[in-house]
Amino acid sequence: MKAQRLGWVGFGEVGQIFAQGLQGQVSSMAMWDIALNGPPSRANALRERAQALGMTVCTSAAELAQMSDGIISAVTASNTLQVAQELSAQALSGTWVLDLNSASPGTKQACERSIRAAGGVYVEAGVMTSVPPYGIRVPMLLGGAQAAELAQLLNQWGCDAKAIATEVGVASATKMSRSIMIKGLEALVIESFTTARAYGVEDRMLATLAETFPQIDWPKQGAYFFSRVAQHGKRRAEEMRESARTVAETGVEPLMTQAIAPKHDWVAQLARDGVFDDVGPQSPWQDWADALIRKTGGK
């Protein structure tokens, strides 16, 4: 599997972490991000970050495909299929595409068909936990006809990849099923903790949680959940919509999963509105809850 020229579609937090972690493993790196067409401040920041890593900044997905032997797709869930289709607009001639995005099995299978029709090789990845603490060592489950071959290459580069299926959909189903629990728990913690704080019963409530789940440090976990949703709620909401699609593809009505996305969207919008500007990333959960209570005019 060729991998001397590596490209990234999507250069947000995950793309940047992987680009930095894989420096020196290939002869050249390039990137394209739709944000390059957006507000100048954001576009310039992405260009500067890419150039600092020695990457070529492309003008389109098509140009990136022409410059790459392998491409890592790290975009928001709602753009997963669009990216595959844009890459497939030109002959890929054996170029492999590693799809890190949190999308449903059906979406990933549609991506595979598009990439394969253009002569490329598609491998899905289920990224099984938050990337920042692990970097390129984040556990990934791979699926696809050449998943084992790509996993071997990625592991040589220092990644933690495991091929689990030759068909596309298994890795994403595993990932999305987990996401329903994790993102759902985040939404529940934010709602539960803020409610308890508003009524002044948080100490009693947390004590009962500790009795039931003594292995979890609930105050620490709560603060982490608040901070991550405030920072990445928009992206998480998109992932939950894909998770709901995953549930629906089984024929089950995704009532609970559908309810998670609006909570993440709501918190993310409040963050953009400046509600949490006075709350630091290492602040206790109570500071996050207090900011919500002040904004909503609660008890």
pLDDT digits (tens, 9 = 90+) for 173-221: 999 999 999 999 999 999 999 999 999 999 999 999 999 999 999 999 9
Task: Kindly tell me the sign of the dihedral angle through the C-alpha atoms of 170, 128, 238, 209.
Answer: positive
Q: Please tell me the predicted confidence (pLDDT) of residue 297.
A: 77
Alpha-carbon Rg for the chain in angstroms: 20
User: How far lies 106's CA from each of 103, 171, 206, in Å?
Assistant: 8, 12, 40
Q: What is the pLDDT of residue 168?
A: 98
Query: Where do the domains of the chain lie?
Result: 5-168, 172-296
Counting residues of the chain whose pLDDT is more than 90, the rounded percentage is: 94
Distances (CA, A) of 46 to 10, 33, 53, 220, 283: 10, 8, 11, 32, 28
Please report which confidence band the pLDDT of residue 298 belongs to, taking 50, 70 and 90 as the band edges.
low
Mean pLDDT (the chain, rounded): 95
Third-level CATH fold of 5-168: Rossmann fold (3.40.50)
Structure tokens at 18: 């992987």
Query: Alpha-carbon distance 142 to 123, whole Å?
Result: 7
* Domain 172-296 fold: N-(1-d-carboxylethyl)-l-norvaline Dehydrogenase; domain 2 (1.10.1040)
pLDDT at 148: 98
Report pLDDT digits (tens) over 94-110: 999 999 999 999 999 99
Q: Is the pLDDT of residue 256 over 80?
A: yes
Q: In 157-254, which ranges are continuous DSSP H helix?
A: 170-199, 202-212, 218-248
Q: Which of 171, 71, 175 is nearest to 115 (CA)?
A: 71
pLDDT over 70, % of the chain: 99
Name the region of 24 (left: φ>0; alpha: ψ -120 to 50; beta: rest): left
* Residue 296 pLDDT greater than 90, yes or no: no
Reported as a single tens digit per residue, the pLDDT across 19-43 is: 999 999 999 999 999 999 999 999 9
In this predicted model, what pLDDT tens digit does every residue of 264-285 receive, in sequence order? Answer: 999 999 999 999 999 998 999 9
pLDDT tens digits, one per residue of 137-169: 999 999 999 999 999 999 999 999 999 999 999
Q: Which amino acid is it at 44?
A: N
Q: Give the Å distances, CA to CA, from 21 to 129, 135, 147.
A: 17, 7, 21
Output the pLDDT for position 1: 75
200: left (phi over 0), alpha (psi -120 to 50) or beta: left
Q: What is the DSSP string of 106-166?
A: HHHHHHHHHHHHTT-EEEEEEE-S-STTTGGGSEEEEESTTHHHHHHHHHHTT-EEEEEES
The answer, yes or no, to whether residue 299 has pLDDT greater than 60, is no
Quickly tell me which residue has 């944000």 as its tokens. 35
Flag whether pLDDT at 3 surpasses 90: no
Tens of pLDDT, residue by residue over 98-143, are 999 999 999 999 999 999 999 999 999 999 998 989 999 999 999 9
Average pLDDT over residues 45-56: 96
